A and B are shown apart, each in its own frame.
Chain A
Amino acid sequence: MLNLISAEFFKLKKSTGFKLCLLITCICAWSLISVSHGIGTGDLSTDISGSASGLTEIMVISLLGSLLAGILVCSDFESKTIHDAIAGGNGRISVVISKVFVYLLLICLLFLPYAFATLIGLYTYATFSSSFAISVFINILADMSGQSITFSMAGNILLLSLVTGIVYAARLSICIPVAFKVRKPIVVMAFGFAAGFIIDLIAGAAEGIPLLSDLLTVTPFYRDYLMISMDSSDGIMLKAAIVSLLFLSIMTGITYLLFKKAEIK
């Protein structure tokens, strides 16, 4: 399986799609921090909050994460790389696990620009506003601006990014079985974005219903896992990570069941 993971990274090194996703995340992260600063200082009006919310990790990662799932899985069917992996004696379960593992790492990687932009923002001791959009990183900036950065704080921000990355990877992992089934990147992207939006709506409505609310806590769609902050307890961070990793394992299992006896054309 290590050879498959290694091959995935070799492909990503050459992938324009992945590089573009990373570049877009960098631009969005930097723009988000700039807008937050602009609103915080009064240079920008809160009227732009609607457009600026499109720069938050919730929007950007949901969109690019779905796209990445398509790139990661579907392009291998198009280039027939997956054919060689299977005809070369690699088990289908190894193929699925390696894809899910690399996907998890990629989503976590996409959070790094937000984490670094937040650290840079904090380092400038500038004023930031969190009133215009819902974002883990904007909340950190607004809550902690003016404080001097310590190694512990930087570590906590990176840890928070990692946990958020795992939660998002789990949320977006619903794209992986779809990608293995339909093998069309555009369909996967549309599904990922639409399904995430609908599930969030349902989750929001279900929060008032006791049984459904309890059920939600064992999925990565629980609102508290999505909006963890520096004030979140270690318990909630750990629970968010464990629930998300379990959800990823379930998605891996579902994908394997779909792919186990699938025709590879």
Chain B
Amino acid sequence: MRDWILKAENITKTFHSFTALSNVSFTLEAGKIYGLIGQNGAGKTTLMRLIAGLSFPTKGMLELFGKRDEKEKQAALKRIGCLIEYPGSNGNMTAKENMTLHRIIRGIPNRELDEELLAMVGLSSAGKKRVKDFSLGMKQRLGIAIALLGNPELLMLDEPVNGLDPFGVVEIRSLIKKMAEERHMTILISSHNLPELYQTATDYIIIDKGEIKKMLPLKELEECCQHHLRIECSNPEALSVLLESKLHTKNYKVMPDKSVRLYDYLEDRELVARTIFENGILPTQFYIGGDTLENYFISIIGGEKNA
């Protein structure tokens, strides 16, 4: 049986006449890194705020760690950590004081945790510098450290690499992966940048105009985006045999719609065409398929592809 962390059923959220989320349903499985991808205003932050208890759905049901009842869900919130929109911190305090404050709020007695988490996000050298003098990147790191207090089982990070320099992006990316692997933490990260999420997430939730357009694992995304020769014919089994015997490749896949995706010979399409034609197979379709991540995302949300 699968271990679900979160179930959302037909969640709708409206603000007066504006519908921010419309009948959103999805589940988050334990230990995975989910990339929540959508344009600005797609509903990513609204969704995270609903999960964190900062907002309430107009319709629908959220089940957190198997808890549906409001009181039980409130207790279950102790098992999540979040950084939503910009990082929340007290500007007049140092990073360590902010950690102490949030640790007290969460009722965690372990004082060593402050230093440990600051070191983990690369802020141990911040010393007595006040947070109001931090760069956006430093504030972002502090926000992540605060979200990690209490060793959450579900970590929600809204655009966590915003304002980070390239080294910072790499560090945070590896930290996120480490958290998921070592602590079996489920992570939900939002971004409007699919190539950025591609380097971190194991599963993707594509959201647009308040609706979930698609949920897919990394493997499926790679398959959709990997360039290939798409060949359609009446006998894909014979084509498979031919590819292996004549072109000596096993780097192909027969798709459920009976088309064949060949990932080799992209630069030598003429040889492929001649070989299959000479061996008595008539292709009804023969073209290069696959997309860039951006184009794939745009195609899902219904926009026009780039050339």
Interface residues in chain A, defined as those with a beta carbon under 8 Å from any beta carbon in chain B: 3-4, 6-7, 10-11, 14-16, 79-81, 83-91, 261, 263-265
Q: List 15 A-B contacts (CB under 8 A).
A: A3-B104, A3-B106, A14-B90, A14-B92, A79-B91, A81-B88, A83-B84, A84-B102, A86-B52, A87-B52, A88-B78, A88-B106, A88-B150, A89-B74, A90-B105
Within the complex, the shortest CB–CB distance from A257 to chain B, in Å, comes to 15
A81–B283 CA distance with the chains assembled, in angstroms: 63
A237–B150 Cα distance when bound, in Å, is: 46
Residues of A contacting B84 with CB < 8 Å?
83, 87
B55/A263 in contact, CB under 8 A: yes
Taking a contact as CB atoms under 8 Å apart, the answer to whether A264 and B55 are in contact is yes
Closest A residue to B97 by CB, please name it.
A14
Tell which of B54, B75, B93, B107 touches A263, judged by Cβ atoms closer than 8 Å: B54
Q: Within the assembled complex, what's the spacing in Å between the Cα atoms of A125 and B104?
A: 47
Mask, B145-167, CB within 8 Å of A = 1, is 01000100000000000000000
Interface residues of B, CB < 8 Å — how many?
33
Contact at A11–B90, with CB atoms within 8 Å?
A: yes
- Shortest Cβ distance from A91 into B: residue: B74
Residues on B with beta carbons closer than 8 Å to the beta carbon of A263: 54-55
In angstroms, Cα B74 to Cα A31, docked, is 50
A81 touches B54 (CB 8 A): no
B54 touches A87 (CB 8 A): yes
User: A-contacting residues of B (Cβ < 8 Å)?
Assistant: 49, 52-56, 74-80, 82, 84, 86-93, 97, 100-102, 104-107, 146, 150
Residues in chain B near residue A15, CB distance under 8 A: 92
Known pairs A3-B107, A81-B90; A89 contacts B78 (CB<8 A): yes
Write the chain B residue with the least CB distance to A4: B105
A10: which B residues are within 8 A, CB to CB? 100-101, 104
Interchain CB contact under 8 A, A7 and B74: no
Q: Is B101 a contact partner of A81 (Cβ separation < 8 A)?
A: yes
Knowing A14-B97, A83-B54, A263-B54 are in contact, say whether A88-B90 is a contact too (CB < 8 A): no
Q: Which B residues are in CB contact (< 8 Å) with A89? A: 74-79, 106
A10-B100, A14-B97, A261-B56 as given contacts; A88 in contact with B88, CB under 8 Å: no
Interface centre among A80, A83, A86, A87 (most CB of B within 10 A): A87
